């Protein structure tokens, strides 16, 4: 997989480039991983509802074809777009999501932060009272009986540090994951992040971890390269 460091790039042009890359790729096209950050922008997923956009103000809103609801991208956030042929890699969409989340968890671990999954809510979360605690969350995904409904996500005591939204076309992925490093978090208060009212959003800086964007991007890129290998 070829990793491309794009720097800070406009969201809309990057979105169009991902679509073009995916539409034009063949069975022999090597997979790529794009690492970048974006100027301030709100993006709506296919399930996005207008009432989750509380007060966008001057920040543009872009409609997209990824899954999920509204989120925010801005400077100080590492955005990673894995462009993977799942058929060639040999795993399905659910495992792809798991692997991307695992890469984020391993990235946080490099900075002594414990990342957690929450049942029914994609993305990675940290304990607000102790981001370095290894104790298992009661809200973690657990085995369900056949036919049992998925639990309602419970974010009590948690802050979201990484958001995930993907699109799969002809077995190939685009869109990806955003890890908050050191950014202005105020715009998250203008939306219901990922469609959840009152969900707190954090970054590494606010939980006491001083790391540069470049270092976080390098570690996340390396972890994604490892976890997404066939």
- Which residues are known to be catalytic? 194
Tell me the C-alpha distance between 103 and 194, whole Å. Answer: 20
Residues with Cβ within 8 Å of residue 136, at least 6 apart in sequence: none
Angle, CA 229 vertex, CA 114 and CA 16 arms, to 5° = 90
Kindly give, in sequence order, each residue whose CB lies less than 8 Å from that of residue 185, ignoring residues fewer than 6 positions away. Answer: 201, 202, 203, 206
Separation CA 204–CA 210 (nearest Å): 7
DSSP β-bridge partners for residue 166: 175
| Nearest alpha carbon to residue 161 among 139, 176, 183 | 183
Q: Cα(148)–Cα(89) distance, rounded to whole angstroms?
A: 31
């Amino acid at each position: 997989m070829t990793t491309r460091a794009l720097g800070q790039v406009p969201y809309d042009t990057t979105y169009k480039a991902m679509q073009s890359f995916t539409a034009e790729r063949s069975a022999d096209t090597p997979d790529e991983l794009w690492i970048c950050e974006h100027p301030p922008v709100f993006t709506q997923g296919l399930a996005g509802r207008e009432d989750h956009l509380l007060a966008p103000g001057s920040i543009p809103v872009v409609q997209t074809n990824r899954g999920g609801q509204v989120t925010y991208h801005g400077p100080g956030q590492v955005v990673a777009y894995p462009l993977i042929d799942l058929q060639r890699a040999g795993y399905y969409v659910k495992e792809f999501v798991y692997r991307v989340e695992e890469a984020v968890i391993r990235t946080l671990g490099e900075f002594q932060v414990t990342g957690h999954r929450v049942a029914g809510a994609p993305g990675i979360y940290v304990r607000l009272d102790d981001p370095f605690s290894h104790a298992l969350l009661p809200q973690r995904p657990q085995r369900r009986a056949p036919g049992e409904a998925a639990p309602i996500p419970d974010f009590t005591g948690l802050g979201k540090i990484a958001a995930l939204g993907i699109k799969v076309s002809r077995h190939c992925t685009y869109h990806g994951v955003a890890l908050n490093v050191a950014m202005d978090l105020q715009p998250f208060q203008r939306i219901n992040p990922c469609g959840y009212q009152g969900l707190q959003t954090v970054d590494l800086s606010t939980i006491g971890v001083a790391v540069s964007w470049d270092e976080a991007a390098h570690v996340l890129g390396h972890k994604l390269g490892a976890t997404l290998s066939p």
